[in-house]
Each structure stands twice: as structure tokens, then as C-alpha cells.
Copies of this chain bind each other. A is one copy, B any other.
């Protein structure tokens, strides 16, 4: 069997441009390069120090300080910036991208971004949200294994270019993730419960303990507090953007949570062991449906 230069046996993603080289973008670069999945990984970041760090740790092959140069030859463009920065960045780069380039993002909310991104870039924009991350941020926390076994949600619409979608799915698989297709609104409803509400509660729990626990007692915090508040170590400005971007779905999820909590509170107030046990047992059962 002869490898044809036109139909390589292992089709490469071509040139991948990663715009934004924090935890998500840096990890993507590391993963693509570790697996030889792209012909070249090029990167852009606002700060020169970030570009230098990304080159030094091997997250990118080439660094660009100029946005238009970064995307000019790219077959795949990944907007790995914060939720509020995605659309302004897309407006800047869309005219400079190759017409058949696939463009995606890694933002945590999708409906608004996808709607507006399609107005800017058309069907070659494919909304994306890898379900991986960390309370840490920045290129220093990047890891080639971040996406391993993670679900990577893509949110195509009737407008989406199928070639672009498949190229992004190929990229997700190439870094060990499992691509999933989901419509943008459904995605936002799912992550409201599976990621956004957990973050909001973690911040609230950290603040409540902050009210109640003096410095001399902070060492009493055990595993349930540590894990329940871990993501309150995440950047609060980033999470303000995400929660607001998805506020309709977050409020819906919060309503249901509040309803549950009100019933638990009533059971506590009344000392109703049977009612409280029923609530906790049902929740315990609900948890078993989730794989992790």
C-alpha cells in the first residue's frame, strides 16, 4: 500500500492556530504536539511572556504576536480565550482566515456565542466546549493530558458546515477526548447543572465558611469542604462572565436547587427524619447515574 501525498494514510489536521494560550489553549497545543496530530501548531497570545512560555514548554511550534499572521495559513482556528473575549476576537480574525478554515471556541456557554459567531463567520464556525478544566489557570498549569477521556461538546446548527464540524471532531479525538454533538441551547441547560451551578455553590459555600470560621479553626476543614469549594479557587471574573452568559439556564437550575433546599430546610426545622432521609436518599440515588 503506497501512501499518496494527496490522501495521506493518517490525515493530519493541517495547521492549527490556537488563539489564547492559557490552561485550555496551552493544554490543547501540548496534546496536539505530543500526538503529532497537526502539521504545525501556531499560537497567538496578548502577552509576549505567554508566547515565550508556550514556546518554551512545547505547546506551540511557532508564536505570532500579530493576529492576522497567526491565522493566515491555519486550517483549524481555536479561540481559546474567555467567554467575553470570544466574539470580539472572532470579528478581528474572520476576514484573515482561509475561506475553508474551521473555526471553533472552547467557551463554557454556547447559545449566544454560536448565534452571534455564525453572523460573523458563517457555517465554518463550530461552537465547542471541552468538559475539562481546573481551578488553575494559565500556561503554567497546562497539561498534555487535560482532554484525555473528557467529553468535548460541539454545538452544530442547521447552518454549520459539515466539513468544519468533522475537522473539529477529528481534533477532539486526536487529543483523547470524546466528541459529542448537542444543540447550543440544550448544551447550556446541561452545563448549568453540571458545571455552572456547582461553581456558584462552591463560591457560596466558601463565603459561608468564611463568615463562620475564625483563622484559628481553618484546619478543621476536611474533605467535604475541600472538594465542595475547590472550584471557588477559579478566577471570579472569568466565572462572572460565564454565569451571566448562561444566566437563563443557570437561574432555572438554581430554582430547582432552591426548591430542593427549601424542602430540606423544612425537614430540618421540623425535625422530620423521614422527610429528610427521603430527600437525601433520592439525591444519593440520582448521583449514582453519573459515571464519575
Q: Which residues of B contact A226 (CB under 8 A)?
A: 290, 292
A280 touches B193 (CB 8 A): no
Decide if B265 touches A207 in the complex (CB within 8 Å): no
Asked, given contacts A212-B256, A280-B240, whether A287 binds B251 with beta carbons under 8 Å apart, the answer is no
Contact A240 B273, CB 8 Å, known A193-B212, A204-B264, A212-B253: yes
Chain A 219-255, CB-CB to B under 8 Å as 1, else 0, gives: 1111111111111111111011101100100110110
* Segment at the B interface, from A12-20, A72-80, A127-135, A168-176: A127-135
Task: Please state if A233 and B283 are interface contacts (CB–CB under 8 Å).
Answer: no
Bound-state Cα–Cα, A203 to B55, Å: 44
| Residue A57, interface by CB 8 Å | no
A182 to chain B: which residues have CB within 8 Å? 217
Q: How many residues of A contact B (CB 8 A)?
A: 93
The reply to whether A257 and B221 form a contact with Cβ atoms under 8 Å apart is no
The quantity of this chain's copies bound in the complex is: 2
A271 to B112, CA, bound (A): 15
Interface centre among A198, A229, A250 (most CB of B within 10 A): A198
Q: Is the CB of B243 within 8 A of A284?
A: no
CB within 8 Å for A203 and B257 given contacts A151-B220, A195-B222, A268-B251 = no
Report whether A289 and B215 are in contact in the complex, using a CB–CB cutoff of 8 Å: yes
Chain B residues whose CB sits within 8 angstroms of the CB of A287 once the complex forms:
206, 210, 229, 232-233
Contact A276 B243 (CB under 8 A): yes
A291 at the interface (CB under 8 A from B): yes
CB of A150 closer than 8 Å to a CB of B: yes
Residue A206 contacts which of B199, B235, B286 (CB distance < 8 angstroms)?
B286
- Residues of B contacting A229 in the complex (Cβ-Cβ under 8 angstroms): 198, 287, 290
Cβ–Cβ contact A205 & B210, under 8 A? no
Binds B, one of A23-31, A46-54, A89-97, A184-192: A184-192
Q: Which residues of the other chain, B, contact A230 by a CB distance below 8 angstroms?
A: 223-224, 227
Given contacts A243-B268, A289-B218, contact A192 B212 (CB under 8 A): yes
B261/A204 in contact, CB under 8 A: yes
Q: Does A153 contact B (CB under 8 A)?
A: yes
Determine whether A56 belongs to the interface, using a CB cutoff of 8 Å to chain B.
no
By beta carbon, the residue of chain B nearest A208 is B257
Q: Can you add 9 more A-B contacts, CB < 8 Å, to A198-B225, A212-B253? A: A178-B219, A194-B221, A194-B222, A200-B264, A206-B286, A210-B285, A229-B290, A233-B288, A236-B281
**10 interchain pairs, CB-CB under 8 A:** A133-B224, A190-B220, A194-B224, A203-B279, A204-B260, A206-B286, A208-B256, A221-B292, A243-B276, A244-B268
